[in-house]
């Protein structure tokens, strides 16, 4: 091997090493995201299985009181002010 070939080999090795260093964080991020997506999917499937078993119980318990939201409270206040000023 001549000196030029050795320098070319070293140069290619350095370029490949830099490419690996740049691509490695992205590859690790993709792997991590897929693992998290799989965990989320498994949790949703487990929740759906539990939900289908307790859905009948939830439908029976409709006697709990409901509290109006802040938007409803604000809108009712505005309506009453308009009626008073008319």
29-69 pLDDT per residue, tens: 999 999 999 999 999 999 998 887 766 555 555 556 666 66
Residue 1 lies in a domain: no
Spatial CB neighbours of 54, under 8 Å, sequence gap ≥ 6: none
Predicted pLDDT at 69: 64
Cβ atoms < 10 Å from Cβ of 49: 9
Residue 29 lies in a domain: yes
Predicted pLDDT at 82: 54
Predicted pLDDT at 4: 95
Predicted pLDDT at 22: 97
Total tally of structural domains belonging to the chain: 1
Residue 69 lies in a domain: no
Residue 9 lies in a domain: no
Residue 27 lies in a domain: yes
Residue 60 lies in a domain: no
Residue 63 lies in a domain: no
C-alpha–C-alpha distance, residues 40 and 72, integer Å? 34
Residue 57 lies in a domain: no
Mean pLDDT estimate for the chain: 81
Q: Containing domain of residue 41, as a range?
A: 21-49
């Amino acid at each position: 091997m001549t000196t030029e070939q050795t320098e070319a080999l070293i140069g290619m090795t350095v370029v490949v090493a830099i490419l690996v260093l740049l691509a490695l964080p992205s590859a690790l991020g993709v792997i991590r995201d897929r693992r998290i997506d799989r965990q989320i999917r498994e949790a949703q499937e487990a929740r759906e299985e539990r939900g289908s078993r307790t859905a009948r119980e939830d439908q029976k318990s409709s006697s709990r009181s409901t509290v109006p939201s802040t938007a409803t409270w604000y809108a009712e206040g505005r309506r009453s002010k308009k009626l008073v000023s008319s």
